[in-house]
Amino acid sequence: MSLLHKTNLQLLLDLSLNKAVFDGEFGLEKENVRVDRHGRLALTPHPSAFGEKLNNPYIQTDFSESQVEMITPVFTSITETHQFMESIHDIVTLELEEQQELLWPSSNPPMLPQEQDIPIAQMNNAVADEYRHELANKYGRKRQLLSGIHYNFSFTDTFLNQLYKLNQQTDDGQRFELSSSSESFATFKDFKDAVYFKVARNLLKWRWILIYLTGASPIFDKSYMKHCVEKGMSIDHKSYFFPNMSSLRNSTCGYRNQSNFQVSYQSVQQYVQDLQQLIDERELMNAMEFYSPVRMKTADGSDPLQALLNDGVAYLELRFIDLNPLEKIGISEETMHFIHLFLIYMLLKQDEPFGVREQRLADLNHDRMNSEGLDGLLHTTSQEQITLREAALVFMDEITTMVELLAPDKERYISIIANERQKMAQPELVIAELVKDGVHRSDYISYHLAKAEKYAQQSIATGYRFQGYEDLELSTQLLLKAAVKRGIRFELLDRKDNFVRLMKDEQVEYVKQATKTSLDTYSTVLMMENKIVTKIVLAEHGIRVPIGEDYTSLATTKEAYNKYREQQIVIKPKLTNFGLGITILNYNYSEAELNRAFEIAFEHDDTVLLEPFMTGKEYRFLVMGDEVVGILHRVPANVVGDGKLTITQLVQEKNKDPLRGQGYVTPLEQIKLGEAEVTVLASQQKSIDYIPNAGEIIYLRENSNISTGGDSIDYTDDIPDSYKQIAIRAAHAVDATFCGVDMMIDDIGVVANDHNYSIIEINFNPAIHIHCYPYQGKNRKANEKILDLLFDEK
């Protein structure tokens, strides 16, 4: 039963195309049903935060209003695809969290109400709404809540083109043969179609193997369709199952056409012709209603028949993959890799006949596997009597051989295959059996609800980051997550620069570092960058600023000393955004100290500002448009005692917060107990072993930077409106849309007057993540606000 086409394989090796066959383009789509905190189907509308259902390329609804569909863009690697799906999953989870809902992690539905109480998706489109109602009537709303994963795949056109050239060669044995008939192709399109139809045929024939390995819906709730519950078995009269069934969704109780329509996969022409006939005969309303396990898709993602004829097949959509409740997003990277290998094998193996008879046998094998497991006999046209298990094992050997011959990263693949092979020998290891086993320890609803809650907690804990984009600044990651949520497409133009392009309908926006956008003019940014200009303009607008002088030479130190010796002053370089080169001189400083402060500042710029030192506490006002979006105050790294733990232990406890990390990849930084902290403690006559009293606050640093473990405290709701109005006026004075206004406030218990505050700086690139994930306080959703303003929403 050797199925590999050895000559073809050797040819790929000879021509160094063996690696290119593993290249591909991938996409995932998946549905999850929304449920409440008790595992009941959510009857709420699709959250408006996800924008218009039909316009969001990432987050839509499927048949039911309660069924969220998540769609990744196309990626050239499985890792990226998987990570992006995880991010969408996180984004949806975080939004649902706000309405106390969860994503149901099983392909089988949660606790369902009566059929007629299940909401059908409202598409705000008469035709689409009617179509959905017809489908609901035909298949039943409960059935329609079955959810799954679509795995989209194509080889790269570069690779297929090389194959095509090999196929066109006629001179010697160096010819790549798609089938034994040695057919030749007039165009690349014809060849490419033939490739995907060959893969589709082989896939249909052997799909039972993949369903065995990926089936994850072996058990269902008593609220599912009555006739299925009645036929099923149950231990607890809550959760029902059929013996050996791994996938309800791929069973007769699953989502299938009412008949096993015979559609030819011999060529694109025959495929289209057969489908058209079914439509003409009113068996199907349209081509979309043909629920084949694999779909032939065109480049724009649709599958209308005419487009298939004209443009050919662009990729395959595998539709039979269940949501795996053991995985947060319903599928593991390993499973994705195995399916990829399975698809490559379908191209490289010998072509086999796949007429009406073979197609029916494939359907029978599918059903036999799903009712008898691997112990049943393989339906085959030959006389050979082998079990499904024996056939599957041969199959795994063949894939192993293929990988060993060709693959670029063999070890990982071999390990993945070995793991899947193990499940054939030991059915108790297969996903469906693990799920069934888990359910039997509690019940269907409780088991999956626990999973749903666990996964939601994971999403929330890492809500500040975007899977697969952790190399970007947190502010940019948050902006992109907000974009995905509302369906604004994005592209990374220069990852290192955090330079992205956002697209919605016809509008295109270029954004660098989250807040550098087209909404601020260049001159506005330059005004903010230049402290002298900022102060002139703010003062003209009646806003209190530290009015000082600028110096361009150390020679004037003496003059400055004579003039300012009786004041507290600040010496700082004219251009700095990072607090470098700044010295604060308290009362009674010496001329030498002033001189040194000037020297330090001159190391950073050749113009240095001398300003009166402004009293009060410093607050960062994040202004966006006409609004103060958030106000933060930072305090130095600290711990609060409980009367039991030492400082070391308290630091360890505080560092467990998932928002605290190392190396600026998290909203807060872990507190260190290094030389600097020990010195600060020593100045308080304390050591790291000191046990602070309950409620005693121990500061471990003098500076309040987040980068040295400082805390960010949200004061947005605590600062009187008068200060907010001043911050907004300051932003307007320089015509800024996005800026961070640093204000000193003497006492936030007193409303602003002409002498109890001052603005020391306006920043043109304010960090937004600190307002979204402060140490204390609410997420101020600054990322959402940027998009509101950029795309004129809300």
Smallest gap from Cβ 591 to its own copies, in A, equals 22
471 touches its own copies by CB under 8 A: no
Instruction: List Cβ<8 Å contacts ≥24 apart for 383-390.
Output: 384/1, 388/208, 388/212, 389/424, 389/425
Which CB, 434 or 536, lies closer to its own copies?
536
Smallest gap from Cβ 233 to its own copies, in A, equals 59
Report the residue from 237, 441, 496, 755 that binds its own copies according to the rule CB under 8 A.
496
516 touches its own copies by CB under 8 A: yes
Sequence-ordered list of residues with C-beta below 8 angstroms from that of 43, at least 6 positions apart, any chain: 66, 113, 117, 119
Smallest gap from Cβ 516 to its own copies, in A, equals 5
Rounded CA-CA distance 400/338 in Å is 11
Which CB, 256 or 516, lies closer to its own copies?
516
494 touches its own copies by CB under 8 A: yes
Which CB, 143 or 574, lies closer to its own copies?
574
Sequence-ordered list of residues with C-beta below 8 angstroms from that of 765, at least 6 positions apart, any chain: 513, 515, 516, 577, 740
Smallest gap from Cβ 468 to its own copies, in A, equals 19
Which region among 1-9, 291-299, 379-387, 516-524 touches its own copies (by CB under 8 A)?
Answer: 516-524
Which CB, 530 or 670, lies closer to its own copies?
530
397 touches its own copies by CB under 8 A: no
Provide the mask over 518-557, with x wherever binding to its own copies is found by CB under 8 A and - wherever it is not.
xxxxxxxxxx--x-xx--xx--------------x-----
Which CB, 429 or 547, lies closer to its own copies?
547
Smallest gap from Cβ 496 to its own copies, in A, equals 6
Provide the mask over 678-717, with x wherever binding to its own copies is found by CB under 8 A and - wherever it is not.
----------------------------------------
Which CB, 164 or 764, lies closer to its own copies?
764
CB atoms within 10 A of CB 664: 11
Sequence-ordered list of residues with C-beta below 8 angstroms from that of 543, at least 6 positions apart, any chain: 726, 729, 730, 733, 759
By CB under 8 A, the count of residues binding its own copies is 30
Q: Locate 693 and state its tokens.
A: 């009293």
Smallest gap from Cβ 576 to its own copies, in A, equals 14
Element (H, E) at 574: none
Q: What is the DSSP string of 691-743?
A: -PPTT-EEE--SS--GGGTPEEEE-TTTS-HHHHHHHHHHHHHTT-SEEEEEE
Smallest gap from Cβ 13 to its own copies, in A, equals 21
Cβ 488 vs Cβ 790: under 8 Å: no
Report the residue from 461, 493, 750, 751 that binds its own copies according to the rule CB under 8 A.
493
Torsion angle in degrees (nearest 10) through CA of 639, 645, 648, 650: -40
497 touches its own copies by CB under 8 A: yes
Smallest gap from Cβ 530 to its own copies, in A, equals 6
Which region among 301-309, 489-497, 624-632, 711-719 touches its own copies (by CB under 8 A)?
Answer: 489-497
Which CB, 510 or 587, lies closer to its own copies?
510
Report the residue from 131, 185, 291, 499 that binds its own copies according to the rule CB under 8 A.
499
Which CB, 131 or 499, lies closer to its own copies?
499
Smallest gap from Cβ 501 to its own copies, in A, equals 9
90 touches its own copies by CB under 8 A: no
Q: What is the DSSP string of 287-333?
A: GGG---SEEEE-TTS---HHHHHHH---EEEEEEEEP-TTSTTSS-H
Which region among 365-373, 442-450, 514-522, 639-647 touches its own copies (by CB under 8 A)?
Answer: 514-522
506 touches its own copies by CB under 8 A: no
Which CB, 169 or 518, lies closer to its own copies?
518
Smallest gap from Cβ 383 to its own copies, in A, equals 55
Smallest gap from Cβ 218 to its own copies, in A, equals 48
Angle of helix 188-214 relative to helix 388-406, nearest 10 degrees?
A: 130
Rounded CA-CA distance 333/286 in Å is 34
Cβ 208 vs Cβ 388: under 8 Å: yes
Phi, psi of 424 (to 5 degrees): -80, -35
Smallest gap from Cβ 522 to its own copies, in A, equals 5
Smallest gap from Cβ 121 to its own copies, in A, equals 35
Which CB, 282 or 496, lies closer to its own copies?
496
Smallest gap from Cβ 531 to its own copies, in A, equals 9
Smallest gap from Cβ 494 to its own copies, in A, equals 5
Rounded CA-CA distance 462/488 in Å is 22
Which CB, 499 or 561, lies closer to its own copies?
499
The length of the chain, given as a count of residues: 794
Rounded CA-CA distance 321/213 in Å is 9
Sequence-ordered list of residues with C-beta below 8 angstroms from that of 411, at least 6 positions apart, any chain: none
Instruction: List Cβ<8 Å contacts ≥24 apart for 653-660.
Output: 657/775, 658/461, 658/462, 659/464, 659/773, 659/775, 660/709
Which region among 157-165, 395-403, 432-440, 503-511 touches its own copies (by CB under 8 A)?
Answer: 503-511
Distances (CA, A) of 312 to 38, 72, 299, 405: 47, 22, 8, 31
Sequence-ordered list of residues with C-beta below 8 angstroms from that of 99, at least 6 positions apart, any chain: 44, 47
Cβ 612 vs Cβ 567: under 8 Å: yes
Q: What residues numbered 760-789 form the site for its own copies, per CB under 8 A?
A: 764
3-state secondary structure 51-102: CCCCCCCCEEECCECCEEEEECCCECCHHHHHHHHHHHHHHHHHHHHCCCCE
Which CB, 485 or 531, lies closer to its own copies?
531
CB atoms within 10 A of CB 152: 22
Provide the mask over 121-140, with x wherever binding to its own copies is found by CB under 8 A and - wherever it is not.
--------------------
Q: Locate 400 and state its tokens.
A: 């192993």
Which CB, 402 or 762, lies closer to its own copies?
762
Provide the mask over 714-743, with x wherever binding to its own copies is found by CB under 8 A and - wherever it is not.
---------------------x--------
Provide the mask over 593-612, with x wherever binding to its own copies is found by CB under 8 A and - wherever it is not.
--------------x-----
Q: Locate 375 and state its tokens.
A: 């112990």
Which CB, 46 or 574, lies closer to its own copies?
574
Which CB, 479 or 511, lies closer to its own copies?
511
Phi, psi of 68 (to 5 degrees): -85, 130
Which CB, 90 or 605, lies closer to its own copies?
605
511 touches its own copies by CB under 8 A: yes
Smallest gap from Cβ 509 to its own copies, in A, equals 7
Smallest gap from Cβ 549 to its own copies, in A, equals 13
Cβ 622 vs Cβ 766: under 8 Å: yes
Smallest gap from Cβ 734 to its own copies, in A, equals 8
Phi, psi of 100 (to 5 degrees): 60, 40
Tell me the pairing of strands 668-669 and 660-661: parallel
510 touches its own copies by CB under 8 A: yes
Rounded CA-CA distance 223/136 in Å is 17
CB atoms within 10 A of CB 440: 15
Which CB, 147 or 524, lies closer to its own copies?
524
Tell me the pairing of strands 25-35 and 148-154: antiparallel
Residues that bind its own copies (CB under 8 A): 493-494, 496-497, 499, 509-512, 516-527, 530, 532-533, 536-537, 552, 607, 735, 764
